[in-house]
Each structure stands twice: as structure tokens, then as C-alpha cells.
Amino acid sequence: MDLLILGGSWFVGRVIAEDAVGRGWSVTVFNRGRSATPPEGVRVIHGDRESAHDLARLAGSGPWDAVIDVAGTVPTMVRDAARALRPATTRYAFVSSVSAYAGWPAGPVTETSPLHDGDPDRSDPEGASHTYGAMKVGSEAAIRREFNADRFLIVRPGVVLGPHEYVGRLKWWLNRALRGGPILAPGRPDRPIQPVDVRDLSAFLLDQLADGGSGTFNVAPPADRSSYRDLLVACLAATGGRGELLWIDDEWLAGQDVRQWTELPLWRVPPGTWAMDAKRATAAGLTCRPLAETVHDTWAWLSAGGRAVDHERDAEHGINPEKERELIDRAETEGAVRSRERLPA
Ligand SMILES: NC(=O)c1ccc[n+]([C@@H]2O[C@H](COP(=O)([O-])OP(=O)(O)OC[C@H]3O[C@@H](n4cnc5c(N)ncnc54)[C@H](OP(=O)(O)O)[C@@H]3O)[C@@H](O)[C@H]2O)c1
């Protein structure tokens, strides 16, 4: 396979590039060469996808069996890349997001659930609260307009974790587990959680491209396979941390001054947060490794000096230790600690 990756040097794109090189594919990555070094074994073409000239030059360097647009979020940029590269590729794949669904995270979603309103010809955010999701929908629409149904592949992952993750969600929990002591464990221990390992997302995408698959797929492990407790237990096991998990009532915690999703990473109360149906992808061959393996490998990577690309979202994640301690104390006083568990036992 001859593959072109738009991006390919930060996280998802980087892991896809490594995976494809490992399969013996011929891999080209296109980026500005500003922020990170792409993996070994790829052909690098530098350019800016916002430049029509650079896109035309890129198209002239083809053809490819497939293009993967990994990190597109602005519909007009995705549209312009898809249009410029259409003559140079057989297939076009796009990494979208669960955020495309209008009903997420309020309720469960399947591939046929309603989407946000997205316009393929918009380049600016479409409303304060749903910007990212609407922009992904607009980007998807741009690809559907440029490519026939048998030539595009759209994946909508939920949360993606694993080595090279730059958002910093798992990194924060791992470092928290390492520090040990009393740990504010949000909500119910058995709350389902379904982040996908970046390597499983990559394998699914590349397998689909190799097999001629097309269409739109949610990408996540089954919702009932892992729990929030599994995540925290795996973080303690991976880091060797010793801690006491204090499971604090969701409703109580949601009433405090705590930013859901970021201050306590991966915690958010709407019932659909972790209720993505990915049966279509599973039937098409998606396999997801155990969450503990993702946690273990991410810690191994960090411990070996692995460093994700600098990203402003990293700083949004985590709660400061004084605030955590203060919340635990208050939860104890107000009877909001539902259960506690010392680990390792
Ligand atoms: N993290 C999650 O939990 C999650 C969940 C759902 C979906 N997703 C989706 O997963 C994807 C993550 O992608 P990633 O950031 O890891 O991809 P990536 O391909 O590894 O990195 C982004 C690449 O884009 C390049 N780039 C940025 N601006 C550019 C421009 N103007 N022209 C050319 N290249 C440019 C960057 O290099 P240079 O800066 O050197 O140009 C970099 O190589 C996104 O689509 C995200 O929406 C993530």
C-alpha cells in the first residue's frame, strides 16, 4: 500500500505512520515540520495544508492508494485537501470524533444518531458550545461531497489514549497514582469507561484501508468491558503507587466547583459519556486490547523518557493537590464518600 498521511507527527497520525511502516507500506507524511519529528521510515513532504500551492505540489507527488486526514477540524481545510488530493488517491480516510453527535454525551450514540449541524464550506466556529463537533461534521460532509461512498472511510473514536497522547488525560492519572495517598475517585467504581487505544484505532483504520472497507464507524471498546475502577487500579499497578481510593458521590461532586472532564480527567456525569455503540466496527474487525495494557504501556513509555508534543490542552488537566484534599475532607464530613479501598490490598 502507498499511503499518504496528512499530519503524522504528534499522536494518532504518528502511531498510524509507525503502524503502516511496520506493515511494510510505503508511507508519506505531509506537515509543516514545525512541531515534532515524524517516525523513522517515512517519506516527509513539508508544506502547509492551508496553502493551495502546497496542496497542489503534494498532489503532484502521488498517487497513493489511500490518504488519511488525521487531524482535520476546519471544514474548508478538509474540503480543500480532499479536493486537491482526489485525483491522486483511490481512497480517503478521515479521523472524526464522537463529538460529531448532537446527542453526545447526554445519551448513547450509534452511527445513525443525529449529528450536529455542520457546513462543509465553513471555516469559522459554529456556535460557542458545539464548535468542535460541528466542525467535525462539516469536515465529514466535505469528504462525502468529494468522494463516492465506496471511496471514503470515516472513523469516529471516543477518547483515544496510549503512548504519545498529548491531551494529558492518562498521564495525569498515572502521576496521581504514583503520588498515592488518599485519591479522590469520582463517582461510582463500576462506571463504564471505553477509551480506545491509539494502536487499536490505527490497526482498524489500516486494516479497513487494506481490505477496501468504506463507510462510517464508531471506534471504541465495548462499553461494559472496563470500569473507572479498572482505570485507577491499573494506574496504581503500573506506577507502583499505594493509595486509598475514596469514591465520591457523582451528584455531590457535580455540585462542587470541579470542572468535569478536565479537572478530574475522564470523569463526567452525563449518562451517554461512555455509551458509544461500536458494534459495526467490531463486526468489521476492530479488536481492542485491555485497558490495563494501554495504561501499562503508556507508563512504560513515559518512564522511558517518552514525551508527547507540547499542547495547550495538557495544562487544562488535573486538580491541584490542596483542592483535592479539601474536597475529600468535605465529602467525608458531608457523607458523600460512598466507598473506600486501599490498594494494593
Ligand atoms: N485525543 C482524543 O481523545 C481524540 C478523540 C477523538 C478524536 N480525536 C481526533 O484524533 C485526531 C488526533 O490527531 P493528532 O493531532 O494526533 O494527529 P497527528 O497527525 O499525529 O498530528 C497533527 C499533525 O498535523 C500537522 N499540522 C498541523 N497544522 C498543519 C498545517 N496547517 N499544515 C500541515 N500540517 C499541519 C502537525 O505537524 P506540524 O505542526 O509540523 O505541521 C502534525 O503532524 C484529531 O482528528 C482529533 O480530533 C482525538
130 — pLDDT class (breaks 50, 70, 90): low
7 Cβ below 6 A of ligand 1: yes
* 327: containing domain: 169-194+223-274+290-343
> Which residues 6+ apart lie within 8 Å of 325 measured at CB?
182
Ligand 1, closest atom to CA 8? Answer: 19
Which residue minimizes the CA distance to atom 8 of ligand 1?
Answer: 97
The verdict on residue 218 lying in a domain is no
The verdict on residue 180 lying in a domain is yes
126 — pLDDT class (breaks 50, 70, 90): low
Residues 183 and 92 reside in one and the same domain = no
Q: Which of 117-121, 244-248, 292-296 has the lowest average pLDDT?
A: 117-121
13 Cβ below 6 A of ligand 1: yes
Residues 261 and 114 reside in one and the same domain = no
Residues 37 and 59 reside in one and the same domain = yes
The verdict on residue 279 lying in a domain is no
Residues 96 and 177 reside in one and the same domain = no
Distance 302 CA to ligand 1 centre (A): 20
Would the pLDDT of 36 be above 60? yes
Would the pLDDT of 129 be above 60? no
The verdict on residue 281 lying in a domain is no
pLDDT number for residue 176: 98
Distance 187 CA to ligand 1 centre (A): 32
Residues 186 and 335 reside in one and the same domain = yes
Residues 143 and 28 reside in one and the same domain = yes
- Residue in the structure block whose three cell numbers are 477518547: 159
Kindly state the average pLDDT of the residues 336-341. 97
Q: Which of 128-132, 209-213, 277-281 has the lowest average pLDDT?
A: 128-132
Helices marked H in the chain — which ranges?
12-22, 52-59, 75-85, 131-146, 169-179, 198-211, 228-239, 250-254, 279-283, 291-303, 321-333
CATH number of the structural domain spanning residue 133 = 3.40.50.720
The verdict on residue 39 lying in a domain is yes
Domains: count for the chain: 2
Q: Which three cell numbers stand for residue 341?
A: 479501598
> Which residues 6+ apart lie within 8 Å of 12 measured at CB?
70, 71, 95, 160, 198, 201, 202
Distance 4 CA to ligand 1 centre (A): 14
44 Cβ below 6 A of ligand 1: no
- Whole-prediction pTM value? 0.97
Q: Which three cell numbers stand for residue 264?
A: 478530574
Residues 140 and 180 reside in one and the same domain = no
The verdict on residue 233 lying in a domain is yes
Residues 119 and 181 reside in one and the same domain = no
Pocket test residue of 3, 5, 31 for ligand 1, highest count of atoms within 8 A of CB: 31
Kindly state the average pLDDT of the residues 2-15. 97
Residues 10 and 94 reside in one and the same domain = yes
The verdict on residue 204 lying in a domain is no
128 — pLDDT class (breaks 50, 70, 90): low
Eight-state DSSP code of residue 41: T
Contact call for residues 8 and 17 (beta carbons, < 8 A): yes
The verdict on residue 321 lying in a domain is yes
pLDDT digits (tens, 9 = 90+) for 192-238: 999 999 999 999 999 999 999 999 999 999 999 999 999 999 999 99
Residues 251 and 183 reside in one and the same domain = yes
Would the pLDDT of 125 be above 90? no
Q: Which three cell numbers stand for residue 90?
A: 483511490
Average pLDDT value for the chain: 96
CATH number of the structural domain spanning residue 330 = 3.90.25.10
Residues 115 and 188 reside in one and the same domain = no
Residues 108 and 188 reside in one and the same domain = no
